Amino acid sequence: MASNFGSTIRVALFGQSHSAAVGVVVEGLPVGFSVDQARLDAFMQRRAPGHSAWATPRKEADKLRIVSGLNPAGQTCGAPLCGLIENTNTRSQDYETLKRIPRPGHADFTAQMKWHGYQDVAGGGHFSGRLTAGLCIAGGIALQLLDERYGIHVAAHIQEIMGIADTPFEAYNTSAEKTELLTQQMELLAQLPATQLPVLNKDADQAMRQAIAQVKEEQDSVGGIIECVTTGIPAGIGGPLFDGIESALARAVFGIGAVKGIEFGRGFAAARMHGSEHNDAYTIHDGKPCCVSNNAGGNLGGITTGAPLLFRIAVKPTSSIARPQHSVDMSCNELANLEIVGRHDPCIVPRAVPVLEATTALVVLDQLLSFPVA
């Protein structure tokens, strides 16, 4: 099972939703870096379940244990870093029928076709969003490394839920004024408590909360769009074709459950633009060439331009809903109705925001170390 990615920074996830623990093994981290455990714990809590009205009621402390990879002073020591989180609040009995009757929208059916009953179905097993805790362990450390050693910063926010749009990042114009506005937006998001939706507009926060509450009341779910930006990354990082920054991000991002689409810069809107509109002209700033605009989203040919690296992902509605749904009983090959029990998010988008930041940080750090400027 392919549960790893990266070249110099190798990330491997382990565990299942209801196994004893979930976690991550990270190889290739630069040595001598002091991990701020309090900062890492705070980042982990943004993803943790059971702490908000829009999240699953499953209560997990998500107390992180780093069992290898640090010396007694708390610095990376060159050994593989292993971080794990124990699962303490499981109800595996809620999932006993899923080997027979698959949930629409989940991987129950495809897992049965591949492993013929040997898979762990409890909580979705290895397909569960619970596995993203491991991404946040590794990515939380990568975020600190990028910030402190390289001056590179990553931030994400909910751009849209049910047609309710947040203020977009000021990342398409590279003027000093817009760059300052983008910095302010990223600082605002960094200051938001975990109890608030990661949005830039307070009105959008309230409207999104109401929309999520409504679909929860209707025993349904909703998805959304997340926008992510990376600043401070120098020009020349990455490579052409399959090792480029876009390719690496796409591969890693599609490892996050429920992600159904990704676009960079203007993305699909570029298909409706003229070349004269979409091309980013060049100028000289501080004695160096740079782009005037950033329609490309900070990369050309898989290599960074020095402008903010900007992309968005589409997140599907949570597949587990309380409404009755049509399925099949695979044990007798007959039609069946399914009413899902258990504890599920009416909207996973808010908890996916830190996961996207973590994944982006890991890819950027890996690209920085694997494919530096020649």
Binding residues for NADP(+): 47
Alpha-carbon distance of 257 to 3, in angstroms, equals 12
DSSP secondary structure letter of residue 123: G
Give the number of other Cβ atoms within 10 Å of residue 251's Cβ. 13
Alpha-carbon distance of 236 to 289, in angstroms, equals 13
Known binding-site residue numbers: 47, 126-128, 301, 316-320, 343
What is the separation, in whole angstroms, between the first and last Cα of the chain? 34
Known binding-site residue numbers for FMN: 126-128, 301, 316-320, 343
**Nearest CA among 253, 245, 351 for reference residue 304:** 245
Q: What angle do the packed helices 349-370 and 37-47 form, to 10 degrees?
A: 130
Whole-angstrom CA distances from 287 to 115, 174, 210, 280 are 59, 15, 50, 18
Find the Cα–Cα–Cα–Cα dihedral 235, 237, 240, 246, rounded to 10°. -100
